Amino acid sequence: MKLISKSKTFGGVIESYSHPSTACNCEMRFSIYLPQLTSKSNVPTLYWLSGLTCTDQNFMTKSGAQRIAAELGIAIVAPDTSPRGCNIEGEDDHWDFGTGAGFYVDATQQPWAKNYNMYSYISKELPALIESQFPVNNIKGISGHSMGGHGALTIAFRNPKSYASVSAFSPICAPSKVPWGIKAFSKYLGDEKKDWEQYDAHILAKNADANSIEILVDQGDEDEFLENQLKPRSLVDSCHESGNKIELRLQPGYDHSYYFIATFIEDH
């Protein structure tokens, strides 16, 4: 791992690193917040998955979550949202696909399959690295925003025993049915829609074992993407169908921004 930057905040420290990733076959970046350690005991970790166009920095600079993590004694890990600079043709052509838009899947289609394996990176490689390199234990929570909310939910549904808490802000709940998801899944996963189901929260929710997961979702009711891209009701219906607890809080007047996230992050 290579340390890129380091700043003290709320008694703890925010560090950014790059490291060679096996899953993504390239150098990947993440930021970590470590609270002030008052004893030798290790702390739990919240994994935060960011949305389209974000890097490992957005959550750390804008959410205000470190104040709460410092109080509670938890670490926060914010990975990047995709591989970068892999010299794949077209990787920088779209703000909602390629760089900054890995969609937390393992790509099966060329030219993406070699690098765009964010599902394996986030669910396996990164936690193993974090747990081996930092004073954290193996208790994990997962949350995220928009595309990252989709990532948090799908990774949690597929690995429910790995996460002590699961939540999302403004998640893409039915990617197979919305423009952002259809565009990304077609290119990363191909045209066979059956292959998309393992990355679609509202389908995974339908097929989940009863009482296997408990989810908090915050969603602004003035979010411009609510109806066309996010569809949280589809997730609620699926959770109810399979017998899993979900609380969807429609927050009146809030939009899709980090100002919304900062307001409610303490509850996550």
Q: Which residues are catalytic?
A: 146, 223, 256
CB of 222 vs its own copies, minimal distance in Å:
7
230 binds its own copies (CB under 8 A): no
CB of 87 vs its own copies, minimal distance in Å:
30
Phi then psi for 111, rounded to 5 degrees? -90, 20
CA atoms of 43 and 65, how far apart (whole Å): 16
Minimum CB distance to its own copies smaller for 18 or for 263: 263
Residues 239-268 interacting with its own copies (rule: CB under 8 A): 253-255, 257-260, 262-263
What number of chain residues touch its own copies (CB under 8 A)?
22
CA atoms of 60 and 76, how far apart (whole Å): 9
Answer yes or no: are the C-beta atoms of 160 and 242 closer than 8 Å: no
CA atoms of 44 and 152, how far apart (whole Å): 17
Minimum CB distance to its own copies smaller for 48 or for 116: 48
Q: Which of 22, 61, 159, 228 binds its own copies (CB under 8 A)?
A: 61
Minimum CB distance to its own copies smaller for 35 or for 83: 35
96 binds its own copies (CB under 8 A): no
Minimum CB distance to its own copies smaller for 7 or for 211: 7
CB of 58 vs its own copies, minimal distance in Å:
9
Q: Which of 78, 209, 98, 226 is nearest to 152 (CA)?
A: 78
CA atoms of 39 and 248, how far apart (whole Å): 37
Tell the residue number behind the tokens 């996230």, with chain if given: 261
Minimum CB distance to its own copies smaller for 60 or for 86: 60
64 binds its own copies (CB under 8 A): yes
57 binds its own copies (CB under 8 A): no
Q: Which of 92, 191, 209, 222 binds its own copies (CB under 8 A)?
A: 222
14 binds its own copies (CB under 8 A): yes
Q: Which of 19, 67, 124, 183 binds its own copies (CB under 8 A)?
A: 67
Cβ atoms within 10 Å of 191's Cβ, excluding its own: 10
Minimum CB distance to its own copies smaller for 185 or for 258: 258
11 binds its own copies (CB under 8 A): yes
- Which residues, other chains included, contact 105 with Cβ-Cβ below 8 Å and sequence gap of 6+? 116, 117, 118, 119, 184, 185, 188, 189, 199
Q: Which of 9, 109, 165, 212 binds its own copies (CB under 8 A)?
A: 9
In the complex, the residues that contact its own copies under the rule CB under 8 A are: 7-11, 14, 61-62, 64, 66-67, 220, 222, 253-255, 257-260, 262-263
